[in-house]
Structure 1
Amino acid sequence: MVKYAANEKFPKLYFPFVSYAKAMKADPNGGDTFRKKFTEEFAKDFKSKPESDRTMGAMYFFDPKIVKELAKQKDEFVEKLTLKKSDSISFKDAGSLLSFELAKQFTEKTLEIGQPIVKGYIPEYSQPFITGSLWASVTKPKEVNDFPDLTKDYKLLFELTDFNWKSDKETAYKNENYFLVETTRILNLHAGSGIPTDRNKPVYVLHSYAMDILMNNDNYKKKYKVDNPNLALIKQLQSKGAKFVVCGQSMTWQGWKLSDFTEDVKEAFSAKTALTSYQKQGYILHKIDAQRQ
């Protein structure tokens, strides 16, 4: 029997690993005995957990979409380590790499047999306004009784200042910008709540490092050696009425011209004056940056 020290605090989210460890002890080769043992132990353990733990455990380990995304994150993490070109690895990075590998081994052996047990606990996703990344998706709550006013316009002002997380600078340029994707999740939340999509009125104000997101493909390719992965999403947003505004002060200091960006980008005197102006017009500010996520 797998036991833990009395003072050991096992992370709640990772409770399926306990069943996995017991099954591996019974059958290290991962055969029929493993499958039988895991099914028995996990079904019993899952049933004993509170609803919140069941939902989180089901989603994180047995939702194929999440599993696929985590596999992608592992590949990107390995690429980042490779790009560092170092003959050593930090303790933190080594721990992350081992966690990714353990998660991979776990899902390879348990995804199929665990899904029937967690059935009904994996949330259903939708993208009612902007489509694309999994992280733009929203779920449908079960007991909503506080509703928005569907007769009003929802003026959303997004301020973007960052291009990447500090820990993700090596590979961020190859993927859709996380902060831009987060704004699409916010838009989908509004649409999912019942607000008509034509009443969503998004304006984006970008300054500092975030302006690279808007580069036209030629300029992006010159700087990063790959096509701009954000352009399709930006075009989709513009087709849904989104307006993109860049900071004139940043433009001047960095030597930008509007022709350096994708089409239909506006230049304000400064980001700060644009933010003030739109808020005076009733727009609600959502500041999306690395410090506030």
Structure 2
Amino acid sequence: MTRLFASAIFCFALFTSQFSFAQSAQYPLVKGFGGIYEVPDATEKPDPSKEYFILIDMTTGGAENAEISRWVDNVARMMNLHGLAGVPKERMHIKVVVHGGAIFTVLGDEAYNKRFGTDNPNIPVYDALEEAGVEVLVCGQSLHARRLAKSDLYPGVQVALSALTTITTYIPQGYTYLKF
């Protein structure tokens, strides 16, 4: 009986030790999306005392229409990585300009459903990004080229004249340019 009990304790300890090294994803700035992990050995980290001005040029759409685009989620990851390093959302000034194949990620559910037969899985991510202070802009030229209207978009997105003019407006203002 004691041997059986000791074996059971050993198996339980072995089983639970497997989970002590596993980390749960963290979402410090964008809640529920863009999960990231602590890296205790990292020597290069964002400086929490700095202001971050970042312009993301998003042209790549999702691989699967019924799944969140990895590029939309990557915006959340970038925000959360800064948050993990202690950068508060007030110091993060992020603009995402969406055009090209990524334009479908900003469609409202009705237009997305018409095109792909499912609700837009990216809208909750965009909502969480906006809650974290991210401004999402869509290229008006891409809208026109694809015969889409503002009414086809989810409510949080703003329409820019073009991605080109948005980029040339914010880069001279000191925004770091990232291409997704």
Q: Tell me the TM-score normalized by structure 2.
A: 0.83
**Residues 230 and 119 (structure 1), Cα distance of their counterparts in 2 relative to 1, 3 Å cut:** closer
- Rounded to whole Å, the distance in 2 between the matches of 1:119 and 1:182 is 26
- Rounded to whole Å, the distance in 2 between the matches of 1:185 and 1:232 is 14
Structure 2 residue corresponding to 1:138, chosen from 17, 21, 36: 36
- Quote how far apart the aligned CAs of 1:205 are: 0.6
- Rounded to whole Å, the distance in 2 between the matches of 1:253 and 1:143 is 48
- Quote how far apart the aligned CAs of 1:232 are: 1.6
- Rounded to whole Å, the distance in 1 between the matches of 2:166 and 2:127 is 22
1:231 aligns with 2:123: yes
- Rounded to whole Å, the distance in 2 between the matches of 1:113 and 1:120 is 11
Aligned to 1:155: 53
Q: How many residues align?
A: 171
Structure 1 residue corresponding to 2:88, chosen from 191, 196, 199: 196
- Rounded to whole Å, the distance in 1 between the matches of 2:19 and 2:131 is 38
Aligned to 1:276: 168
Structure ranking higher on relative contact order (CA contacts 8 Å, 6+ apart): 2
- Rounded to whole Å, the distance in 2 between the matches of 1:253 and 1:160 is 17
Deviations 1:133-162 (A, max 9, x none): 4xx222112244555333322112111112
The aligned amino acid for 2:36 is V
Deviations 1:62-106 (A, max 9, x none): xxxxxxxxxxxxxxxxxxxxxxxxxxxxxxxxxxxxxxxxxxxxx
CA contact (8 A) 1:154 1:200 kept: yes
Instruction: Name the structure with the higher helix share.
Output: 1
Gaps of 5+ in 2: 1-11
Q: Which of the pair has more CA radius of gyration?
A: 1
CA contact (8 A) 1:124 1:140 kept: no
**Residues 177 and 114 (structure 1), Cα distance of their counterparts in 2 relative to 1, 3 Å cut:** farther
Q: Which secondary structure does the structure 1 equivalent of 2:168 belong to?
A: helix
CA contact (8 A) 1:246 1:267 kept: yes
1:260 aligns with 2:146: no
Aligned to 2:7: none
Q: Which runs of 4+ in 1 moved over 4 A?
A: 112-117, 144-147
What is the root-mean-square deviation of aligned Cα atoms in Å? 2.4
**Residues 130 and 277 (structure 1), Cα distance of their counterparts in 2 relative to 1, 3 Å cut:** same
Q: Tell me the TM-score normalized by structure 1.
A: 0.53
**Identity in percent:** 26
**Residues 264 and 142 (structure 1), Cα distance of their counterparts in 2 relative to 1, 3 Å cut:** closer
- Quote how far apart the aligned CAs of 1:267 are: 2.2
The aligned amino acid for 1:225 is G
